[in-house]
A and B are shown apart, each in its own frame.
Chain A
Amino acid sequence: MEPIILAKNLNAYYHEKLFIRNLNLDILPNEILTIIGPANSGKTTFLRCLNRLNDLIPYFRLEGEIFFAGQNIYANGIDVSLLRRHMGMVFANPIPLPYSIFENVAFAPQLHRLKDKKQLAQLVEKSLKAVHLWDEVKSRLPDSALKLSGGQQQRLCLARVLALEPQVLLLDEPTAGLDPISTAKIEDALYELKKEYTIILVTNNIKQAARVADKVAFFLMGELVEYDTARNIFTAPKNKKTEEYLSGRFG
């Protein structure tokens, strides 16, 4: 199978300090790749390279190439907002916009000129159902999204991204601040979403990686230490560092 995302010789600098070192990674479609590793290992930086969100940060510089569906996303003339519509991102903290629940999910499609009311309502319903939130909020769609609990807000943010109809989901520790039940609901949603999307999940939670991952990439100090199927990583890691990290000896 052709990889959907291909990173070649990536080096990322912030204030000329190296944050990602010579990274090569290929990601197959319809898989869940989880990226694990201790703090400051470049996980989030890598994720934010994929939708070019690091472009916004002054003094950030990237070398190397990232191909998405065969196209170098750092080439000249790339429509960055179009790229970001294909790469939906969910952040560690839920960031509901100060609008209603409905408007939050409808936000991106409306930005991209989906005017048809009926289509929009269908898209909102479908997205909320996909994250198992529909039953909880269907009676109060016009209420402010800020009234939802933290777990509901994070699922709302995931639904908001699904309404973009992206090809890849970039999830940056989406359950970091959530209770176990909310976490389980999001993980359930991920299983089903895998059928339609390629999912890249950054997580600090090794158990979560073990539960949902097809592939696991272990980052350490900006380097990709080991990249393999979840089964291999968790049962027979080849690198000593990976084994030490998984057994909780550092990080």
Chain B
Amino acid sequence: MKRIFISLISKFYTSLTGLASVLIIFIVAIILGNIIYNGLPGISWKFLTNAPETGMTGGGIFPAIFATVALVILMTLVVLPLGVFTAIYLHEYASQGSKYVYWVRLAIHNLAGVPSIVFGLFGLGFFIQFIGKNIDNIFFAHTLVYGQPAIIWAALTLALLTLPTVVVTTEEALRAVPDSFREAAYALGATRWQMVRHVVLPQAIGGILTGGILAVSRGAGEVAPIMFTGVAYYLPYLPTQLNHQFMHLGYHIYVLATQSPDVEVTKPILYSTVLVLLVLTVCLNFVAILIRTKTRQRLRGER
């Protein structure tokens, strides 16, 4: 009797854990299926290359795609050097166990825990109201040039948001390089920088790029940090200067879902926009995986 009871419990938990994992696939399938089913018919060359028309109820999403890509590139240009150099300093230069390194690490981990909307507010307060205003006061005779929401401030805010990702993944990549390589380089008379540049970085570059792309795919989807710092509901021009405002895929989805004059007409456009954003992010993740595998192969000597 007892044996049967025990085996019943065992079967129960087998099913329970199995069900939980099936549920995840189920949810992803529903989300993706729904978006693809409803979004795919609306995707066309015209949709991808034209601006929105007639109050978001027609036309395409090209300005949003363009500016999302531009924003992410700007962000990457800032966050990659800053994050990678920070990680190199923490792992290769600073003496391990020092108080300073402890505080920097603590700061980075806390940065990772800050809600994204707070980054948005910080961007507004620090970059726009403080830095932008002062640039205007000093260089532009108090006219409004940089002291307003702009793509550069949004990119900087996103860079702060994704900085912990880059620092942590870069440090992990550096840690994965065995110390024997560092000793070998030193024994050949390399200076510390030569050792880092020619021995450690080439082996860590895969991990670093993976981190960079993870940051990009995170940054591409974030809306909250840019809401106060540069994104616009609709613009008749593309952002071609650093102080321009811009449209954004994520924000465009928000706009379509909440601010549309005619919900039924915008619904297919909304679905297609979501699909484009998803594909963009999935592509970035895919590239990250590809780079990682390629680098691993190279380090194992398979060209």
Cβ of A51 and Cβ of B298 under 8 Å apart? no
Asked if A46 lies at the interface with its beta carbon under 8 angstroms from chain B, I say no
User: Interface with B: A60-68, A85-93, A178-186, which one?
Assistant: A85-93
Report if A129 contacts B (CB, 8 A). no
Q: Are A88 and B180 in contact (CB under 8 A)?
A: no
Which of B28-36, B127-135, B188-196, B207-215 participates in binding chain A? B188-196
CB-CB under 8 A from A112, the residues of chain B are: 189
A111 within 8 A of B: yes
Q: Which residue in chain B gives the minimum CB-CB distance to A143?
A: B303
Could you say which of B50-58, B161-169, B197-205, B244-252 contacts chain A? B197-205
Q: Which of A85, A98, A147 contacts B203 (CB 8 A)?
A: A98
Contact (Cβ within 8 A) A56 B186: yes
B183, CB-defined interface residue at 8 Å? yes
Seen from chain A, the residues whose Cβ lies within 8 Å of a Cβ on chain B are 51, 53, 56, 58, 81-82, 84-85, 88-89, 91, 93, 95, 97-99, 107-108, 111-112, 144-147, 157, 160-161, 164
Q: Which size bracket describes the interface of B in this complex?
A: 20 to 34
Grouping DSSP codes into helix (H, G, I), strand (E, B) and loop, the B interface class, with mixed when no group exceeds half, is: helix
Asked whether A56 lies within 8 Å of B183 as measured between CB atoms, the reply is: yes
B299 contacts A by Cβ under 8 Å:
yes
In the complex, besides A111-B194, A146-B300, 19 extra interface pairs with C-beta distance below 8 angstroms are A53-B183, A56-B186, A58-B95, A58-B96, A81-B189, A82-B189, A89-B187, A91-B180, A91-B187, A93-B180, A95-B183, A107-B188, A108-B188, A108-B189, A111-B188, A111-B190, A145-B301, A146-B299, A164-B188
Assess the A53–B186 pair: CB atoms within 8 A.
Answer: yes
Q: Does B102 contact A (CB under 8 A)?
A: no
Give the complex CA separation of A161 and B189 in angstroms.
10
A126–B198 alpha-carbon span in the complex (Å): 23
Provide the residues of chain A in CB contact with B189, threshold 8 Å: 81-82, 84-85, 108, 111-112, 164
Q: Which A residues are CB-close (under 8 A) to B186?
A: 53, 56, 81, 84
Measured CB to CB, the closest approach of chain B to A28, in angstroms, equals: 23
Inside 8 A of A161's CB, which chain B residues have their CB?
A: 187-188
Q: Which residues of A contact B300 (CB under 8 A)?
A: 146
Chain B residues in 8 Å Cβ range of A164: 188-189
B188: chain A residues within 8 A (beta carbon): 84-85, 88, 107-108, 111, 160-161, 164
